């Protein structure tokens, strides 16, 4: 943990990072369902074919949206608005996380492949909407998703971040590799999800944690 002393910039992924892995399926189950519906309606295919396209594009292009834009000229704003109109009433205020974020003597940012509307809805439900110095969504990235190195470079330029003074915290292990290449410290939130744990045994991960609030508490004690 000594290597995490005096970090000036904390960069957080959103889904499965700022809220627990136990809630991830409740969120993404809804998003995934609406993605399938959107693709089915826009491409005039049945739901089974829509799901196939959704999955194939995700694995090939890192987001389903990226594949839809490349192959079908889908309007990204229309897609993002539709898929993120979900019910998040089950996400409750996280007073422990809020307390540890407040104590952090550093800039705090959110970096996600989702939309700004999704960010705002999540952090409002968690009761931490006033604690961040900046947010970076897929639109800010010119629709280039993580783990493309280009996306990370756009993000650090937007916030004028020195990667050597930053830590990036993610639940999808492969998204940490570009951060490490740029010089950031990297923290993986352990989980058993197939896509989340892929390449989690690689040396581009500096630290593995089970709970974000507990990690931040250790950082705050250290500093």
* Superfamily of structural domain 2-19+92-222: HAD superfamily/HAD-like (3.40.50.1000)
Q: What are 35-87's pLDDT values in tens digits?
A: 999 999 999 999 999 999 999 999 899 899 999 999 999 999 999 999 999 99
**In three state form, how does the secondary structure of the chain look?**
CHHHCCCCEEEECCCCCCCCHHHHHHHHHHHHHHHHHHHHHHHCCCHHHHHHHHHHHHHHHCCHHHHHHHHHCCCHHHHHHHHCCCCCCCCCCCHHHHHHHHHCCCEEEEECCCCHHHHHHHHHHHCCCCCCCEEECCCCCCCCCCCCHHHHHHHHHHHCCCHHHEEEEECCHHHHHHHHHHCCEEEEECCCCHHHHCCCCCCCCCEEECCHHHHHHHHHHHC
pLDDT beneath 70: ranges in the chain: none
pLDDT of amino acid 120: 97
Q: Quote the pLDDT of residue 222.
A: 82
Domain ranges of the chain: 2-19+92-222, 25-83
CATH code of domain 25-83: 1.10.150.450
Tell me the per-residue pLDDT of 197-206, one tens digit each, with 9 for 90 and over.
Answer: 999 999 999 9
Threshold 0.75, pTM exceeds: yes
């Amino acid at each position: 943990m000594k290597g995490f002393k005096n970090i000036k910039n904390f960069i957080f992924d959103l889904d499965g990072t700022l809220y627990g892995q136990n809630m991830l399926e409740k969120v993404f189950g809804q998003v995934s369902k609406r993605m399938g519906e959107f693709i089915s309606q826009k491409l005039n295919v049945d739901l089974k074919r829509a799901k196939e396209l959704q999955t194939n594009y995700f694995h090939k292009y890192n987001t389903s949206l990226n594949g839809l834009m490349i192959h079908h000229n889908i309007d990204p704003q229309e897609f993002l608005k539709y898929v993120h109109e979900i019910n998040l009433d089950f996400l409750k205020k996280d007073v422990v996380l809020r307390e540890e974020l407040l104590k952090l003597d550093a800039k705090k940012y959110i970096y996600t492949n989702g939309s700004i509307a999704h960010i705002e809805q999540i952090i409002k439900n968690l009761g931490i909407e006033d604690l961040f110095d900046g947010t970076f969504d897929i639109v800010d990235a010119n629709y280039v998703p993580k783990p493309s190195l280009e996306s990370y470079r756009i993000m650090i330029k937007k916030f004028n971040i020195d990667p050597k003074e930053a830590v990036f915290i993610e639940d999808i292990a492969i998204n940490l590799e570009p951060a490490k290449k740029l010089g950031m410290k990297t923290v993986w939130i352990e989980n058993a999800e197939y896509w989340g744990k892929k390449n989690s045994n690689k040396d581009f991960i500096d630290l593995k944690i089970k709970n974000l609030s507990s990690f931040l508490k250790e950082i705050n004690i250290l500093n």
